[in-house]
Amino acid sequence: MVSRKDIRIIRELAGQVAEIAALPVQEEKRRLWQRLNGLQAERPMVMIDQVCWNEMNINDELTLLCSDSACQKYEQMLRRILYQWRYFPVDMVVEPFVRVPRAVTSTGFGITVQEEIAITDPTSSVVGHKFINQFQTEADLEKIKEPVASEEVAETQRRLELAHQLFDGLLEVKSWGVEPYLSLWDPIATWMGVENALLAMVDKPDYMHQILSRMTSGYLSLLDQLEEKGLLCGVQSIIHCTGAWTDQLPAASYNPEKPRTKDIWMYGLAQMLGTVSPAMFKEFEVDYTSKIAARFGLVYYGCCDPLHDKIDQVRLIPHVRKISISPWADEEKAAERIGSDFVFSRKPNPAFVATVSFDPELVRKDLARTKEICARYGCSLEFILKDISTVRYQPQRLFQWARIAMEVAQK
């Protein structure tokens, strides 16, 4: 049972979100994202995500008042939407619905991560990891099991009933399935440690190929299960911190009760391969990820890894639409090789809001330079500020970054 107080708090916040979601500007922002994702951008788009929320609480605007744990999660979501819309909205779209995650579980690959953790700020979710290598012998390969997906139907129903109680008449309740996260190398990094895995690519390439082959087969099997059981998510609004609105998805004959991989986006990344050669990148990442990407409607590729020297290899991955250009990438090289074929998904350096003293003009010059380079090579451009681990407890830095970014984008 949920208290009347909790219901009142949630419905009051949901009403505010509903009013914002009904504003005409939301449809205009969706249209602009569709144009960008169709490679016909009218201007650069701007998104801010992965915020250091532990440093953002002004005047208790993010302080949770609900008692029930499930209500607290909804309250946190709603308060963050309202806060971001108030202080740094950029090109966010406030949707007129709430997604309720279905109780879908996967057995995964059957490997429990073994690690040591280093904490610098107890209030932050950003921590350091030292992973223990669990793959050293041929016998260790047998640790990789095929994932099995299932749903706890009763728990899904319980979640939906609560959501209807909280949101009916204000926001539409959407039952939300799995948004597949299918990285090969992020799990390997946690199973082996980055240095051990990189050395094994040189010293034991056949061994690493066996790991990648088993993982790829496992992922493809998991996708088969999710499709067959109707457990995939619907058409997304966001894909890995960027706007996913497009008029190219879902595919023909779409059934919202049973989405297919070809109806949705996926994102791929191999961050720890940033230092390997383009040839090794193709051999150990592209050749495997391509088998997974071929299943999906559109693909966003990359994250923090510098991909400017690997664009030709990324081109081989089916259905890629956006390529991440991280703070460590050579923008000129990347733009020349991307041209008008993909969205240039620029990740401005979050260190600019984390330095001892904040320099607004440095932010402006950095964004303007990216815009000029992309204009020269005909790139569709988006600015995605993410991985914001700190603003030194000065939220106004983020607000100012947002204002500058929109001025540069709209100029």
CATH of the domain at 55: 3.20.20.210
Does pLDDT of 320 surpass 90? Answer: yes
Mean pLDDT of 336-343: 98
Percentage of the chain surpassing pLDDT 90?
95
Does pLDDT of 166 surpass 80? Answer: yes
Does pLDDT of 125 surpass 90? Answer: no
Mean pLDDT of 375-382: 98
If one counts the domains in the chain, the total is: 1
Instruction: Please give the model's pTM, rounded to 2 decimal places.
Output: 0.94
Does pLDDT of 211 surpass 90? Answer: yes
Residue 117: its pLDDT value, please? Answer: 84
Tens-place pLDDT, residues 260-301 = 999 999 999 999 999 999 999 999 999 999 999 999 999 999
Does pLDDT of 333 surpass 80? Answer: yes
Percentage of the chain surpassing pLDDT 70?
100
Residue 127: its pLDDT value, please? Answer: 81
Q: Compute the Cα dihedral for 17, 22, 26, 30 and give only its sign.
A: positive
Helix (H) or strand (E) holding 150: strand 149-151
Residue 124: its pLDDT value, please? Answer: 79
Mean pLDDT of 399-407: 98
Average of per-residue pLDDT values in the chain: 97
Asked if 81 contacts 408 with a C-beta cutoff of 8 angstroms, the reply is: no
Range of the domain at 24: 4-410
Helix (H) or strand (E) holding 175: strand 172-176
What does 154-217 look like in DSSP terms, one character per residue? HHHHHHHHHHHHHHTTTSEEEEE-B-----SHHHHHHHH-HHHHHHHHHH-HHHHHHHHHHHHH
Mean pLDDT of 180-202: 96
C-alpha 306: how far from its chain's center?
Answer: 17
More confident residue, 121 or 144: 144
Tens-place pLDDT, residues 55-69 = 999 999 999 999 999
Residue 337: its pLDDT value, please? Answer: 98
